[in-house]
Structure 1
Amino acid sequence: MGKKSGAVAHVLLDQYGRTYASEAGIKLRDSPGSLYQILVLAHLLSARIKADIAVAAARALFDAGMRDARRMAEASWQQRVDALGEGGYRRYDERTATQLGDAAELLRREYRGDLRRLRQAGDPKKLLRDFPGIGPSGVDIFLREVQGIWPEFAPYIDSKALQGAERVGLPKTPKALARLVKEDDLPRLAAGLVRVALDKRAAEEVRAAA
């Protein structure tokens, strides 16, 4: 089982181990801009919409200049709607545009636009829920993506990632999964597990290749 699990994890990283942050063009850094962009991405990904559309919408927002809390807050509601629409995020665009503006204002007001201050202020799992549009799944997505720079949360393998682990025959606990890869690869492993949880055919490909 150990050898087989290692082979599956290797194939998973190789074929599907791309984080959603990297797909959205976000450079993972413990900096206000990077962390804010991951929060926006987590917000978009947590809606009932295809992941590739959420990623495209995040890129469109960032390309339109809304790369930090100040610029998001200062953008007009219509500018946010237009960027979301450009990314194909049309089903929830109006509500999401409002939530993004309100969340940016909250971040500026409470943490001076810097999520590192939130990390210092208390339990991010609880405090992140204060942001409009960020529910339990949004918190999971955010912490899954930032565990490489906020190591106190690693290994962060949430319930969706554990579904992926079961689908490809890997261990069903975060600690056991973490032993299969290098610490630096944990965000990629978690993302790969989510991808196979969402795509049965991808899971079959991984199992077959391993």
Structure 2
Amino acid sequence: MAGRDERVVRALVDAHGRTYAEEAGIRLRDTPQPLYRLLVLAHLLSARIRGSIAVATARALHEAGLRDPRRMAAADWQERVDALGRGGYRRYDERTATQLGEEAELLIERWGGDLRGLREEAGGEVPELRRLLQVFPGVGPAGADIFLREVQRVWPGTAPYLDAKALQGARRLELPQDPNRLTGLAGRTEPAVLAAALVRAAVDEKVAEDALDRAGS
């Protein structure tokens, strides 16, 4: 019979194990466009705004054709503002529109528009990846963590990446704080899925309560 912690992790993942990239409609692959879309999503999610608004805005940018760095850089500022507004990202729209343009230009100039170049420059080392991600305007520690939590699905060398926010969710569920123990409890569940589920428990107490109820804990 599964132990208490294993039951809680299983219940959490079964009910809430959806990555934010999936929610935003990003079919994550180790290719330039989906990696760029993930960077933009991480940027949006890192602001003090509801996750659902950030996800909707990532979709709106894609629908507006701003789905790769060259298109983002070529768009005028107002075009970016309008797309952000359609997603509901109005509180930070003007500043973010500027940052997205600068972010795209930097990615093109330094890594040819391909985040795999950033990974190569970092030598695949997670601390260096985290540092380099923060050279992008508007991407601070929280944004870098979001990107790394999600990208471990296609950059397995970064796994298991369970940052402070994911571990906050584990604490709320009274689960171990060691990433390797948590991934062990999750069995075959991908670390990216586990991380997303734990983050959802961290930001929404009802998610944690639901998982505990399902686990009979």
Match of 2:6 in 1: 6
Q: Among 130, 133, 138, which residue is 1:128 paired with?
A: 133
TM-score by length of 1: 0.97
Match of 1:186 in 2: 191
Q: Among 168, 186, 199, which residue is 1:163 paired with?
A: 168
Q: Which amino acid in the other structure matches residue 43 of structure 2?
A: H
Match of 1:119 in 2: 119
Q: Which amino acid in the other structure matches residue 33 of structure 1?
A: Q
- TM-superposed deviation, 1:4: 1.2
- CA offsets, 1:8-49, max 9 Å, x none? 111111111000000000001000001000000000000000
Q: Gapped runs of 5+ residues in structure 1? A: none
- TM-superposed deviation, 1:171: 1.1
Change (3 A) 1:2 1:162: farther
Match of 1:87 in 2: 87
The total of aligned residue pairs comes to 210
Match of 2:23 in 1: 23
Q: Among 152, 155, 161, which residue is 1:147 paired with?
A: 152
Match of 1:204 in 2: 209
- TM-superposed deviation, 1:183: 5.2
Query: SS of the residue aligned with 1:130?
Result: coil
**For the aligned residues, what is the CA RMSD?**
1.2
Match of 1:68 in 2: 68
- Aligned counterparts of 1:41 and 1:167: Cα–Cα separation in 2: 25
- TM-superposed deviation, 1:201: 1.5
Match of 1:38 in 2: 38
- Aligned counterparts of 1:183 and 1:42: Cα–Cα separation in 2: 25
**Are 1:148 and 1:184, in contact at CA under 8 Å, matched by a contact in 2?**
no
- Aligned counterparts of 1:157 and 1:36: Cα–Cα separation in 2: 21
TM-score by length of 2: 0.94
Change (3 A) 1:183 1:147: farther
Query: SS of the residue aligned with 2:27?
Result: coil
Q: Which amino acid in the other structure matches residue 138 of structure 1?
A: G
Q: Which amino acid in the other structure matches residue 124 of structure 1?
A: L
